């Protein structure tokens, strides 16, 4: 027969384990997402992929976006990474993506799609091109806004991603205050719940 004291310890340990899992899940759920509609018009997420990634937000008719393509091709040939080309205007089919890919002779290894509304809002996509460099654990290294195409700058960000030079990462996205506040409330809530449960179990055992 297990004593009440032992049962209370088992209950408390189990509950703390549950709270820990809940906390980790909550923090993970508040991480960055870059969702998009793929070539099959199904919702996908860039962060679900592995390795270093470059996400390019573009419009097929944007001259500056087209000017970026030779640099992206060069980066792609020099480094092991994935490139996502995401049109910021959702269409009813993938035809415009196929035409863009074919016209500019882009690699079959590149991923094409349309950004979701959530992604457009998060990155405030009111101008293109815009490039997001992610490391292999989906942390944002940098968000490169509309500017003259620059191979050296993009290459330096890719190298930072490969080597995890986090001191060079973009603080505006990795220190998002809304995410930090959400995570803080999760941790506080878990802590308060743990204390309440502990005293409830202790009271029951002492009866």
Q: Supply the pLDDT for residue 192.
A: 72
Looking at the structure, do residues 81 and 100 belong to the same domain, yes or no?
Answer: yes
Same domain, 184 and 164: no
CATH code of the domain covering residue 155 = 3.40.30.10
Same domain, 61 and 136: yes
The pLDDT tens digits for 101-123 are 999 999 999 999 999 999 999 99
**What's the structural domain count of the chain?**
2
- 10 Å CB burial of residue 142 (0-12, 13-18, 19+) is buried
User: Residue range 85-91: average pLDDT?
Assistant: 97
**In the numeric block, which tokens belong to residue 137?**
């654990």
Q: State which residues form the domain around 123.
A: 35-174
Q: What is the pLDDT of residue 147?
A: 79
Tokens for 39? 């070539």
Instruction: Tell me: pLDDT of 92 over 70.
Output: yes
Same domain, 155 and 132: yes
């Amino acid at each position: 027969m297990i004593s009440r004291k032992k049962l209370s310890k088992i209950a408390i340990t189990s509950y703390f384990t549950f709270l820990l899992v809940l906390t980790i899940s909550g923090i993970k759920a508040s991480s960055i997402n870059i969702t998009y509609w793929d070539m099959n018009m199904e919702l996908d997420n860039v962060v679900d992929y592995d390795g270093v990634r470059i996400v390019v937000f573009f419009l097929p008719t944007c001259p500056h976006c087209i000017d970026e393509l030779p640099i992206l091709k060069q980066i792609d040939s020099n480094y092991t990474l994935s490139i996502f080309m995401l049109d910021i205007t959702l269409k009813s089919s993938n035809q415009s993506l196929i035409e863009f890919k074919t016209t500019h002779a882009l690699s079959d290894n590149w991923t094409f799609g349309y950004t979701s509304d959530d992604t457009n809002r998060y990155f405030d996509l009111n101008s293109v091109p815009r490039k997001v460099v992610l490391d292999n654990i989906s942390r944002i290294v940098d968000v490169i806004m509309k500017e003259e195409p620059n191979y050296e700058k993009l290459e330096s960000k890719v190298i930072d991603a490969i080597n995890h030079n986090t001191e060079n990462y973009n603080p505006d996205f990795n220190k998002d205050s809304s995410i930090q506040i959400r995570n803080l409330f999760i941790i506080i809530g878990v802590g308060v719940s743990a204390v309440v449960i502990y005293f409830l179990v202790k009271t029951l055992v002492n009866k």
